[in-house]
Amino acid sequence: MNTPGNVYLVPTVLSPDALFSIPAYVTVIVQRLSVFYVENERTARRYLKALDRNINIDALQLLIMNENQPPDVTIGRKLLLEGKDIGILSEAGCPAIADPGHLVVQMAHSIDARIIPMIGPNSMLLALMASGMNGQNFQFVGYLPVKGPERIKTIRELETTSERKQQTQLFIEAPYRNNQLLKDIVDNCKDGTRVCVAADITAPTEYIKTKTVKEWKKQLPDLHKRPAIFLIQAG
């Protein structure tokens, strides 16, 4: 049996024009790949062209994966077993974390293909670094519930867990609900709980601030439709 091909996890920018955040070796690898799993063909083509304008975009095989359409791992499996390398590219930051790319990675492990995660921007990690909060013990829980009582219950539970375990709690929200989320946090957490807001990471408008609930109460930033991540640490 041949050695299977490699799976390269290809990072992309978190904000337009932030190509500085992609290490040069990513381009060198991308130049060698002709098959990519992508969330959106158009943005994937635009990004690859931005990395190297000489890439023949039309010759690439782009396999779609998104919320509505899980990746067809049968194709990837066949190509890997033929010894072909493939790439996985998400819409923002590092792939195979908050996108269906992890299903391709699972398939690759099952055939003992090599998986190579490449360095690039990731909003959770950058927010955690810049928050000043505990990075030895933290939890990312994705989106909070949308509905009032359940949402507030979750915020309070996260605060209690944070206090009990001295654990940093990270979460996100649909960008058009960011202002409401920050208000819900400030209205429902203790005055001494620290809250970090990290928005527009790597963009010229990047905004990262950690304050106590009491301090935030004086003034809240406008986060409407800005990609953001929220962190709390109690106690």
Residue 117 is a binding residue for its own copies (CB under 8 A): yes
Q: Which residue has the tokens 């969330």?
A: 39
Q: Which two tokens stand for residue 180?
A: 């409401």
Closer by beta carbon to its own copies, 8 or else 79: 8
Q: Which of 91, 140, 163, 203 binds its own copies (CB under 8 A)?
A: 140
Q: Is there a contact between 231 and 196 (Cβ–Cβ < 8 Å)?
A: yes
One of 129, 146, 174, 220 touching its own copies (CB under 8 A) = 129
For residues 115 and 152, which CB has a smaller minimum distance to its own copies in the complex?
115
Residue from 3, 31, 106, 160 touching its own copies (CB under 8 A): that is: 106
Alpha-carbon distances of 69 from 5, 11, 37, 72, rounded to whole Å: 24, 21, 12, 8
Using CB under 8 A, which of 136, 147, 149, 219 touches its own copies? 136
Cα three-residue angle 211-229-62, rounded to 5 degrees: 160
Distance of CA 135 to the CA centre of its chain: 17
Nearer to its own copies, 32 or 57 (CB): 32
Q: Is 4 among the residues that bind its own copies (CB under 8 A)?
A: no
Whether residue 198 contacts residue 173, with contact meaning beta carbons closer than 8 Å, is answered with no
178 or 194: CB nearest its own copies: 194
